[in-house]
Every structure is written in structure tokens, then in C-alpha cells.
Amino acid sequence: MSQQPITLEAITVLDAIDKRGSYASAAELLNKVPSALSYIVQKLEEQLQVTIFQKQGRRSVLTPAGKNLLKEGRLILEAVQRLTVKTQTIANGWEPKLNIAIDSILQSNVIFSVFNDFLKLHPNIEMDISEEIMNGAWESLVDDKIDMIIGASNPIPKQKGIQTLHLCDFDPVFVVNPGHPLNRHQKPLSHEVIAKYRAVVAHDTARQWVANTNAVISEDKYFYVPSLEYKINAQLAGIGCGFLPRQRIQKYLDSGELIELQIEQDYQPAPLYLAWKIVNQGKALKTIREMLIARKTEIRC
């Protein structure tokens, strides 16, 4: 294979000359003699059959072809720098990327504040955040699609090498729009009465596992939505009934936009977890996990 004329050294030289404005100043920056830089540029121009620099007074200025070459070349230099840092990061036990799922039941403001603090300390670690619901989160963790779940719910998969830590509780409240017909029924409501009406259900995001439908009373009348935020909006619109986290909808209860209805069966607060695989011992995951734990009292549904 013939040698490529454009090398990292050549791009670095062009970058230095452009920034310093002269071969002499660039040579000082790179700790080389000016003649060495002239040779590299001249050789590159000969092989590419283009003029890269032209003189404007005492300054060496890029030609249009030279400008494009350096513009694209700087992208290569940046990529090489990122690759260098990533390689050193991995060698020191830090993962180059974290894949984290947040269950949509949680409010994410505190969580993203933690992410921001983490990235200030470790700016070269890439993060991929996804939203999962119920068994979809467990499935992604077991299948190694994610490194950690924030807000995982019961049941916890058994014999899967998963570590969990209690994060907060989901306090379910059964609510409807003020105009919903369930408001006219005698309280507390029986399951038989509730089952006659449409339920708004947040889709379990499981692809292969059996979908979980916790606290769904309706028999066969469902309105499926992709997240808890959509579920709240659907119930505000009067599309159906269902359980929602008390803390998330307190303002709507206070304003009367949603009405809490008493039902015969009492639903207790349900625990939500931080979950990860025991075998994952990376420093990045450990660090961000500890940062989340330190602020877990601020995390809410």
C-alpha cells in the first residue's frame, strides 16, 4: 500500500502555522527548526499537487484548498485526542461510556443534576440515557443493554446477579378527571365498578419478558401510553382512570384538576430501587452510583 501524504504530523504542522502565522513561530511551538516545517509542507503540497500556504506580507496564509484541508484535518486531530483519552481512561479502570435507564415514574431533575456534577468531574465519559418502564428496565439490565436502572420496581429478578438499593417509594393514588363518571359512584369504589371503565396504562417497555401491569383494575378497556408523563396528561384530559404518584400530581389535586377517589382495597407505597449487575466493577458506574445514593433523599416520583 502506498504511503498516504496526509499524516497526523503534517496536520499538526499546518495547524501550528495557521495559529502562529509563520513558520518560525510554529517551529518554536512544536520545538522544531523552521526548515523541518517547510520540508513537511513542501512535501505535502507536491504529493497533493496543491498550494497550501501563500505569503501575505510576513504571514503565511492558507489558500482555499489549505483551509479545507486543515478544517477536516482538525477533526482528525480531535478524534485522535478523544481516542487517546478514552484508551487511557479504560486502562485506568474507567468505562468510556455509561448506559443508564430511568424509569419514567421518577422525576428526573435531581437525577440530571447528579449527571451534570459527574460530567464536570469526568467530561470524557459518554453517557446514554434511556427511559424504561417496569419489566422493560429489568430486561435491559439482564441483557446488558444498560449498566444501571434508576427507579426499578418489584418484582426483582432472582438469580440474575443483580444488586439493588432502595431509592424511594411510589405512593399510588387513584385519580380521575372531575367530569369522570366514577365521581358519581358511591365510595369507596369496588373493583367491580372500576373495572367497567377505561384505564390509562403506561406501557411496560419489555420486549421479550412478560409485561407487568401493576395496579391495573380495568378488565379489558385500556388506553396505552408510552410514559408516566403521558399517563398524567391522559387522565387530566378525562380519557380514563388509574393510579398516579401522589407527589407528582399533588398540584393537580390541590387545583381540583384531578380528583382522588377512595377504593375498597388499600394500596401501600411501593419501593423503587437503584439496580446494577454485581459483575460490573467499573469506576464510572461506582462513582455515579455513589453520587446518586448521596442525594437519594431528594429523588421523588
250 in any annotated domain: yes
72 in any annotated domain: yes
Q: State residue 150 phi and psi, 5-degree precision.
A: -115, 110
Percentage of the chain modeled with pLDDT above 90: 31
- pLDDT over 90 at 218, yes or no: no
More confident residue, 84 or 59: 59
Q: Are residues 47 and 76 in the same domain?
A: yes
Q: Are residues 144 and 179 in the same domain?
A: no
pLDDT score recorded for residue 3: 65
pLDDT score recorded for residue 254: 95
pLDDT 10s digits, 148-183: 999 988 888 887 789 999 998 888 899 999 999 999
283 in any annotated domain: yes
pTM: 0.65
Q: In the predicted model, what is the mean pLDDT of residues 213-240?
A: 81
In the block, cell 520540508 appears at 39
pLDDT score recorded for residue 209: 43
**Confidence class for position 211, pLDDT limits 50, 70, 90:** very low
Interstrand relation of 222-225 and 199-202 (parallel, antiparallel or unpaired): parallel
**Confidence class for position 59, pLDDT limits 50, 70, 90:** confident
Taking all residues of the chain, what is their mean pLDDT, rounded to a whole number? 86
Percentage of the chain modeled with pLDDT above 70: 91
Q: Are residues 162 and 79 in the same domain?
A: no
- In order of 18, 21, 30, the CA distances from 57 in angstroms are 14, 11, 23
Domain tally, the chain: 3
2 in any annotated domain: no
CA–CA dist 120, 131 (Å, integer): 23
CATH classification of the domain holding 62: 1.10.10.10
CA–CA dist 299, 301 (Å, integer): 7
Q: What is the DSSP letter of 195?
A: T
Q: Are residues 79 and 121 in the same domain?
A: no
Q: Are residues 85 and 101 in the same domain?
A: no
Q: Are residues 189 and 250 in the same domain?
A: yes
Q: Which of 52-61, 175-184, 198-207 has the lowest mean pLDDT?
A: 198-207
Q: Which residues touch 299 (CB under 8 Å, ≥6 apart)?
A: 106, 107, 110, 111, 150, 167, 168, 292
Specify the 3-state DSSP secondary structure of 179: coil
pLDDT 10s digits, 112-151: 999 999 999 998 888 999 988 777 788 888 888 899 999 9
Q: Are residues 71 and 25 in the same domain?
A: yes
Q: Which domain holds residue 87?
A: 8-91
